[in-house]
Amino acid sequence: MNKNNSLEVIKDCTTYIKNHLQDTLTAESLASRYGYSFYHFCHIFKICCDMSPGKYIRLLRLEKAKKDILSGMSITQAGFDNGFETSSGFSKAFRKEYGISAREYLKQNKESEVLIMLHVEIKTLQSQTALGYEIPGEYDSDYSKSGAYWNHINFKEYPAYPEGIHDYGEVGLWTHPDHISGELHYFFGFLTDSTEIPEGFHKVDIPAGRYAVFTIKSQETPEKVADAVRNGWRYVFTEWLCTQKEYKISHQGMCFECYQGEEAYLYLPVIDL
């Protein structure tokens, strides 16, 4: 595989998709357009964008439809104008992706004040230790849904942070505590240099490596912080990764969120393409 040529192909492909959301778009037709076999095209698209072509197309259509709805377009028209053949199909896809109906979304007008600061830096991190809670949860591989999962948790049911342990911010991430069953748990806790593990707490070691660090603009309420974080992850996986010429996601690190004061940061492990 010519790596540089493949990157250029996927970059051109994502631009083509964005400009043709109203058209019939399939992985098969895109593979044919760029002269690849279906399997090979899906393989390189997954490497570059960390999702399938079909999922990428669906997310972009839904994001565009959201903006159209907020701009005053009718919900039905927004669905049709963004490649959904039926209003029921659009409604089902919208609710599946965002957890609410398009009508509820319009009423709440969530994104009018949920802004993210698209500032990114590539940083090399040393390994870090976090102490916190392992919480059973309903994980979704789409980080735009499972991000900021702490917003669903009643922390009064868990022990308070111990006194006298210096922390460097709080982190949230999904981890595999059970290597036999593969069951995912949500972890939320604090970064620390302490070697003691208090009763009721668990330890997670965040691997060293290079990370793309995205800064989330401070928000007024925890709910708005959670929305901004989820929108931030959506941007990372639907926009930033797919336009990269230098980096791709590394599966040796961990995707995690870090909260320090009023700022929130998204950490994406990356390696050179």
Q: Each residue's pLDDT tens digit in the chain (273 positions)?
A: 445 578 888 989 999 999 998 888 999 999 999 999 998 999 889 888 888 899 999 999 999 998 888 878 889 999 999 989 898 999 999 988 888 888 888 876 654 444 455 689 999 999 999 999 988 766 555 666 678 888 888 888 888 888 877 678 999 998 865 555 566 788 999 999 888 898 889 999 999 999 999 998 878 788 888 888 988 888 888 888 887 888 889 988 999 999 988 889 999 999 987
Comma-separated ranges of CATH 3.20.80.10 domains in the chain = 119-272
d(C-alpha 145, C-alpha 229), whole Å: 10
CATH number for 3-112: choose from 3.40.50.2300, 2.40.37.10, 1.10.10.60, 1.10.1040.10: 1.10.10.60
- Pick the closest to residue 229 from 186, 175, 177, 171 (CA basis): 171
> What's the DSSP call for residue 207?
P
Chain region(s) in the chain for CATH 1.10.10.60: 3-112
Element at 93 (helix H, strand E)? helix 87-98
Distance CA 87, CA 77 (A): 8
User: CATH for 119-272?
Assistant: 3.20.80.10
Predicted TM-score of the model (pTM):
0.66
